[in-house]
């Protein structure tokens, strides 16, 4: 699927736009990733794609110190070089170079991190609707939602507010009590990844809604 930007895939389009934005903002701009500047975010993306052993610490707690150490070292590279490494993508041998798999892994990752830079501070605006981007995100989110909401103490249903070609609801977590998160796929994705700036409505008992909002989401 394309994002409406030429014939780029979601991953390629979000990568391109994120790199252009980081070029404009420089290495010290804030992001929605707590404690990270754009330099830290760029280093994270480089390590994630190019240092699989080190990147394992993103998900595996015992390896987290290694990941942090390699990321700090990577962040010391000159800023233009660091952005160029993100722009050029993973090494030829990486599984993230594989078409469908790379698109699935990177499309949602680069979308979320692009918004992590876009939505800092006041004055940001949602991007215009893009049906191709929405469908691509919904397809991947439908597969990852249970993982993203695995820590929720209440059941969670995701409901698209824009219709869509591939269904409008997904059960992200089953529970005796549940809430429904409503929004376009872009905003549902950001909510699933724990971003407070996600523009969604949440239907349900106020206490259940608060429990969901207080829970850790994403990976």
Taking residues 129-143, what's their average pLDDT?
A: 94
In Å, what is the CA distance from 88 to each residue of 19, 31, 91, 216? 10, 22, 9, 32
For residue 61, being part of any structural domain is answered with: yes
Both 140 and 110 in one domain: the answer is no
What single-letter DSSP state applies at residue 30?
B
Both 146 and 109 in one domain: the answer is no
pLDDT at residue number 61: 61
Range of the domain at 208: 132-214
- What percent of the chain shows pLDDT beyond 70? 88
Gap between the Cα atoms of 121 and 123, Å rounded: 7
Query: Per-residue pLDDT tens for 156-199?
Result: 999 999 987 667 999 999 999 999 999 999 999 999 999 999 99
Domain boundary among 83, 118, 153: 118
Gap between the Cα atoms of 172 and 146, Å rounded: 5
Domain boundary among 66, 84, 118: 118
Band (6; pLDDT cuts 50, 70, 90): very low
For residue 127, being part of any structural domain is answered with: no
**For the stretch 102-124, what's the b/e string if a residue is b when 16 or more beta carbons lie within 10 angstroms of its beta carbon?**
bbbbbbbbbbbbbbbbbbbeeee
Both 107 and 157 in one domain: the answer is no
Gap between the Cα atoms of 161 and 201, Å rounded: 10
Domain boundary among 118, 141, 165: 118
For the record, the structure tokens of 199 come out as: 């523009």
Both 28 and 102 in one domain: the answer is yes
Query: Per-residue pLDDT tens for 90-115?
Result: 887 777 776 777 787 899 999 999 99
Both 36 and 92 in one domain: the answer is yes
**pLDDT score of 55 more than 80:** no
Both 182 and 104 in one domain: the answer is no
The CATH number covering residue 182 comes to 3.30.1050
Taking residues 109-124, what's their average pLDDT?
A: 95
DSSP string, 119-146: TSSSS--PPPP-HHHHHHHHHHHHHHHH
Both 28 and 109 in one domain: the answer is yes
For the record, the structure tokens of 193 come out as: 């990844």
Total tally of structural domains belonging to the chain: 2
Both 25 and 111 in one domain: the answer is yes
Gap between the Cα atoms of 87 and 19, Å rounded: 6
For residue 1, being part of any structural domain is answered with: no
For residue 38, being part of any structural domain is answered with: yes
Phi/psi for 169 (5° steps) reads -135, 145
Gap between the Cα atoms of 211 and 189, Å rounded: 19
Phi/psi for 181 (5° steps) reads -95, 125
Three-state SS at 214: helix
């Amino acid at each position: 699927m394309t994002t409406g930007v030429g014939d780029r895939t979601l991953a390629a389009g979000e990568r391109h736009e994120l790199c252009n934005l980081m070029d404009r903002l420089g290495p010290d701009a804030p992001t929605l990733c707590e404690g990270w500047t754009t330099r830290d975010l760029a280093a994270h993306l480089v390590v994630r794609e190019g240092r699989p052993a080190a990147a394992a610490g993103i998900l595996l707690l015992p390896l987290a110190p290694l990941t942090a150490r390699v990321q700090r070292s990577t962040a010391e590279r000159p800023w233009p070089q660091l952005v160029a490494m993100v722009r050029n993508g993973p090494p030829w041998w990486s599984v993230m170079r594989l078409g469908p798999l790379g698109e699935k892994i990177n499309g949602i990752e680069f979308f979320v991190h692009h918004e992590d830079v876009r939505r800092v501070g006041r004055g940001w605006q949602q991007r215009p609707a893009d049906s191709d981007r929405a469908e691509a995100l919904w397809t991947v989110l439908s597969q990852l939602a249970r993982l993203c909401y695995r820590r929720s103490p209440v059941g969670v249903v995701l409901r698209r507010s824009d219709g869509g070609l591939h269904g409008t609801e997904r059960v992200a977590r089953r529970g005796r009590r549940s809430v429904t998160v409503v929004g376009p796929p872009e905003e549902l994705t950001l909510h699933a990844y724990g971003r407070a700036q996600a523009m969604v409505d949440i239907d349900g008992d106020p206490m259940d809604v608060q429990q969901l909002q207080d829970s850790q989401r994403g990976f």
